[in-house]
Amino acid sequence: MTKIKKMSKDEIQKIVLSALGFIALIYCYFTFFLGPLNRSRETMAKTIADTQAKTASSKTEMKKTENLERQAKEATTRYAALRATTAEGAPIAWFPPKMRNFFAAQGIDKAGVRLESSGPFKQPELTDWVRDVWTVDLPLSDYDTLGQAIAKLENTEPLLAVQKIVIRAVPEDPQFQQVSLTAQTALFAQ
Amino acid sequence: MALQLNLLHEQFSEQRQRQRDPLKLGIYALVGFGALLFLWYGWNAYQTIQIRSQLNAAQAEWEKVEPKVTAAQKRADELGKIIDSTKILDGLIDQRFYWAPLLGKLAACVAPNIQIVGFEGNASESGDAATLMIEGVSAAREPRAAAEDFRQAFSETLMKNYTEVKVAFRNLEDLDTLATLAGVPTPTAHFVLNVSFNPKPPEPGAASAETPKPEVTTK
């Protein structure tokens, strides 16, 4: 107290000024220099951790895909084969001639084919496929030939399922029958 | 003892006064402290630069990996979709009901005195049920018995290959017209059969258990 009392007014002003300068220096240092630097460093450290984690998980993901590729080889080949059963263009343009030619090759002429309905499958996995229902009218066929033709159709067209068969004897010639087939096909949507 | 006189007392006092000038001391302290803070800032800045270089390296690696990962994820999705679609399509193929074997079995059951005039068959989409309607004419001295023989023969044939087989007459009536069978006029009957079954093949043990053994009668 005695020392302070000895200080002159000028000295006290200078001490106060020095203290203010010191406070200002500390404030500026932490607010404008060290603070932003630390924040930026923390942000970068966090970004590095995130990026490294992302990179590590991505590498695992790539390995998984490689394994999946090996496992899915059979499925991929089979899928390609099933997809190849769908010809280019609109089904209404190529499916009826295909069926006509097929039955003609089996000895059943004048097959008439018409599209009854077309729509998506209810299974979500088959969004790329279209479910078409066709009616095939065979005006004249003998039973034996019909059986063989249907057997061949079922064996060569895996994505075709005959849902309904109607066979009627031809009144004038009981040896022959009129046949109507309702078949569902799964065709790849283009 | 020599007498010492300080003739420059005032000058010394002023010099001492100058030396302990609080502002000057404060400036020295501030400069010193400022230098320490500057060094500390420099150290932090050096660490930050190092971290920045690490970040750049990590980002460069990620930029190299990212397109490959995106492609891999796309391919994985594609493969997953292919696998799922193939499973469903295989299911559809396996669920199909094959009509050709059934038509073959029907032909094998039709005796020369039976004529089938109409056939209508429906298979469910799920492949677990099929129904048939068979319309025909039987000719024999007992035409109803001939129709019943056909019904039984067809029913037994179906039971060998399918489950839940039901073969029942919807209609069976004598006709007024006679059919010539081996040059002999024979009475005829018109019949309609309703058939339903599950296309699932019977289990090997179950078939023998379900089929009743023929009764042996001794006279």
**pLDDT at residue number B4:** 76
To the question of pTM greater than 0.95 for the whole model, the response is: no
Q: Which residues contact A187 (CB under 8 A, 6 or more apart)?
A: A85, A86, A91, A95, A129, A130, A132, A159
pLDDT digits (tens, 9 = 90+) for B87-108: 999 999 988 999 999 999 999 9
DSSP β-ladder status, A160-170 and A173-188: antiparallel
pLDDT digits (tens, 9 = 90+) for B163-181: 999 999 999 999 888 888 7
Verify whether the Cβ–Cβ distance A51 to B87 is below 8 Å: no
pLDDT digits (tens, 9 = 90+) for B124-156: 988 889 999 999 999 999 999 999 999 999 999
**pLDDT at residue number A150:** 95
Q: How many Cα neighbours within 13 Å face the side chain of A109? A: 0
B108, β-bridge pairs:
none
Task: Name the E strands within A2-155.
Answer: 112-120, 129-142
- Is the Cβ–Cβ distance between B200 and B155 less than 8 Å? no
B46: tokens are 């050096």
List the one residue out of A176, A187, A173 whose CA is nearest residue A134: A187
Amino acid in position B74: K
DSSP state of B211: S
pLDDT digits (tens, 9 = 90+) for B103-126: 999 999 999 999 999 999 999 988
Q: How many CB atoms lie within 10 A of CB B143?
A: 24
**pLDDT at residue number A1:** 43
Verify whether the Cβ–Cβ distance B103 to A48 is below 8 Å: no
CA dist A153 and A55 (Å) reads: 52
Who among B33, B44, B84 is closest to A37 (CB)? B44
pLDDT digits (tens, 9 = 90+) for A6-17: 677 877 887 788
Q: How many Cα neighbours within 13 Å face the side chain of A104? A: 11
pLDDT digits (tens, 9 = 90+) for A91-144: 999 999 999 999 999 999 999 999 999 999 999 989 999 999 999 999 999 899
Q: Per-residue pLDDT averaged across A79-85, rounded?
A: 92
CA dist B81 and B89 (Å) reads: 12
pLDDT at A147 over 90: yes
ipTM for the complex shown = 0.75
**pLDDT at residue number B93:** 92
The torsion region of residue A162 among left (phi > 0), alpha (psi -120 to 50) and beta comes to beta
Verify whether the Cβ–Cβ distance B100 to A64 is below 8 Å: no
Alpha carbon of A97: minimum distance to chain B alpha carbons (Å) = 22
